[in-house]
Amino acid sequence: MPVEPLTIFLDNGLNQDLTVVVKGHIRPVVEGAVAISDPVTVSANDKAAITLTPDVTGYLPYIHLELSCSVAPTEGTVSAWYVKPGEQAELMVNALPIRDTNTHTPLTDGDRMKVVRW
């Protein structure tokens, strides 16, 4: 059965630019995941979409986001949803308030970020 494309919709409500990398793994874990997208910059208070297509990005059954800012935001949150053709959007990052320049993943922010199945 062919794997369908998947789109990630990002809402950067932070007052700083956000860098996003989509990572994939063969298991539902963060450790050892590899980048399956180039870094994408989402401007402050803007929205963006990243579409993953197996024949272009490659396919790994589990994905998560790696989020970071080069300048620490002082307000706002980040949310993200993933959607497959013909399905409802599902939340993958739930109103995450970033206030530093650290890298955020489901490992560091498991209460607001999750690993999802492609």
pLDDT (tens digit, 9 = 90+) per residue, 32-41? 999 999 999 9
pLDDT tens column, 72-89? 999 999 999 999 999 999
Pair of tokens at residue 114: 């999750």
Contact 81, 90 (CB under 8 A): yes
* Domain spans in the chain, listed from the N-terminal domain onward: 6-117
Which helix (H) or strand (E) element contains residue 21? strand 18-25
Task: Give pLDDT, residue 1.
Answer: 65
Closest CA to 29 of 2, 60, 7, 68: 60
Was domain 6-117 assigned CATH 1.10.3470? no
- Ranges of residues in the chain with a pLDDT under 70 are 1
Q: Residues 5, 54: contact at Cβ < 8 Å?
A: yes
- What pTM was computed for the model? 0.95
Which pLDDT does position 2 carry in this prediction? 78
Q: So what's the pLDDT on residue 12?
A: 99
